[in-house]
Amino acid sequence: MTSFRIGRRGLIAGSAAALLPLPASAAKEDWRKLADEVRESMRWAWQNYRERAWGKDQIMPVSGGAESFSIKGQHVGLSLIEALDTLWLMELDAEFKDGVDWIHANLSFDIDGEVSVFETIIRLVGGLLSAHLASGDKLLLAKAKDLTDRLMPAFTASPIGLPHRYVNLKTGAVRGPVTNPAEIGSCITEFGTLSRLTGDPRYFKAAKKAMVALFGRRSDIGLIPDAIDCMTGEWKSRRATIGPPSDSYYEYLWDGWQLLGDRDCLTMYKSCTAAILENQKAMLNGDLWFVDVDFETGKRINWEQDELSSFYGGLLAQGGEPVIGEAYTRSWDKVQAKYGILPEGYDPEKDAPTYKTNALRPELADAAFNHWLLDGKEEWRALVARHFRAMQQWNKAAYGYAVMADVTTKAQADHCPGYWWSEQMKYYWLIFADCRRFDYRKNYLSTEGNVLLGFRH
Ligand code: DMJ
């Protein structure tokens, strides 16, 4: 494996990994063996999905049933599409082909039903594009384009270019004008890729217009609150957060620069990051956190932390703030150590979970993977190994991997989100295996873990 890499969001860093002494525990770790275990877990979960929920959106891992995601009772093979590029990277080629064959035979988006624009872009458009880039299969690209065309009314309905939250795939009717940064601004890499592959600039332009329109409304101290009316541009909240529902807006500002070389995205990323570091970074008992604040005064609202925010350390490192990013990732690692598995919410001031559930989320592994791509330190692989082993210990159910109802009792619930197939299984594999099909020097993974740059054929 190379020791000089360009990470998920592209900051170039010379790795000193080869020169660093390994911590005793990491030195003993057999990474290849761990990678094989990840691949076998993926194969086993896929087999269960194949047998019990084939073509359905999500398998129910405790009962072996199935559930739809966006449109009640309507399935578009969500988990299958999310899994494809992970399968390809793992060289599970028969499984990959089986999934692509299902798409050829069954997938249609001509459905009279309403979907979340954001979730559909990051999961389905992104999944189809990455599978197309892995395989060269033209139908996958055609499906991604067909789906995106059905989503476009969400963007064009607004006079200022901010998308509505929901759109009907058949009629183009839109709903949900009160929206948020993540749902507005997490599509420039999927849409930019689609524009590049189809030669149609409309997708990239719509994505960028939305990002710029939101950025242009920031406060005098440079912060963006977490709710806005997409028709009027009026703020509907005062809370600025790096967590949901704002998180991936900041990620995609950087990503627009990394994947597409868009300088405006870089400028906006730097501006937002400077404001966040100035107003939201806070130390408590030696740990570094980012707190929610009033977007005009910078006054702290509370100390509550959302697990989804734990991706942010990796992003900061890629954007040129490795010391702060690493400190933040380590704060989350301590929470993982405390509960064995991360709760959805945690209050460091009260030292207690604010939400005891665990949604089988990938963010901490995502951050560590990105640190590792940049600096190659074994610390990050060891962190990801703990994340993986916790999942094996607590989330494994009879027919797949399940979310938790309560991290303190370790009670499971009967649900496996689609992102599980696209995100942590891929991060585990890429960080433990020396993957022959992945370019560790030059790559891009979307917020959903979809590889839009970096396949090696
Ligand atoms: C995924 O869909 C994406 O990572 C998104 O950006 C945030 N939420 C989930 C995973 O938790």
pTM: 0.94
Backbone angles phi, psi at 108, to 5 degrees: -140, 135
- Does the domain formed by 26-453 have CATH 3.40.50.2300? no
pLDDT given for residue 121 in this prediction: 98
Identify the bridge partners of residue 283 per DSSP, sorted by sequence position.
288
| 248 CA to centre of ligand 1 in angstroms | 8
* Total residue count of the chain as it appears in this document: 457
pLDDT given for residue 21 in this prediction: 39
Cα atoms found within 13 Å of the Cα of residue 111, Cβ hemisphere only: 17
Contacts of 267 (CB under 8 A, 6+ apart): none
pLDDT given for residue 27 in this prediction: 61
| 98 CA to centre of ligand 1 in angstroms | 26
Q: Which of 399, 412, 411, 394 is nearest to 64 (CA)?
A: 399
What are the distances in angstroms from CA 7 to CA 17, 89, 135, 329, 443?
A: 15, 17, 23, 16, 7
Burial class of residue 16, CB neighbours in 10 A (0-12, 13-18, 19+): exposed
pLDDT given for residue 25 in this prediction: 52
Ligand 1 lined by 248 (C-beta under 6 Å): yes
**Cα 197 to the center of its chain, rounded Å:** 22
DSSP readout, 392-408?
IIIIB-SSSB--EEETT
Atom in ligand 1 nearest the alpha carbon of residue 251? 6
What are the distances in angstroms from CA 339 to CA 7, 219, 327, 332, 333?
A: 29, 38, 19, 11, 10
Q: Which of 203, 279, 208 is nearest to 238 (CA)?
A: 279
203 contacts 195 by C-beta, under 8 angstroms: yes
pLDDT given for residue 28 in this prediction: 82
Specify the 3-state DSSP secondary structure of 373: helix
Atom in ligand 1 nearest the alpha carbon of residue 186? 6
| 363 CA to centre of ligand 1 in angstroms | 8
**Cα 44 to the center of its chain, rounded Å:** 23
Q: Which of 350, 267, 148 is nearest to 140 (CA)?
A: 148
d(CA 339, CA 196): 44
d(CA 281, CA 292): 9
431 contacts 384 by C-beta, under 8 angstroms: yes
| 419 CA to centre of ligand 1 in angstroms | 7
With the most atoms of ligand 1 within 8 angstroms of its CB, the residue from 308, 358, 366, 425 to mutate is 308
Atom in ligand 1 nearest the alpha carbon of residue 418? 2
Ligand 1 lined by 79 (C-beta under 6 Å): no
Ligand 1 lined by 448 (C-beta under 6 Å): yes
Hey, what amino acid is at 450? N
| 448 CA to centre of ligand 1 in angstroms | 6
Atom in ligand 1 nearest the alpha carbon of residue 366? 4
d(CA 26, CA 21): 10
| 22 CA to centre of ligand 1 in angstroms | 32
Ligand 1 lined by 447 (C-beta under 6 Å): yes
Nearest C-alpha to atom 3 of ligand 1 is from which residue?
A: 448
Q: Which of 423, 415, 417 is nearest to 397 (CA)?
A: 415
d(CA 23, CA 73): 50
Q: Domain segments of the chain: what residues?
A: 26-453
245 contacts 176 by C-beta, under 8 angstroms: no
Place of tokens 């791509």: 373
312 contacts 249 by C-beta, under 8 angstroms: no
Q: For helices 31-52 and 424-432, give the axis angle rounded to 10 degrees.
A: 150
With the most atoms of ligand 1 within 8 angstroms of its CB, the residue from 86, 246, 363, 403 to mutate is 363
Q: Which residues of the chain have pLDDT under 70?
A: 1-27
Q: In 10 A of CB 216, how many CB atoms?
A: 10
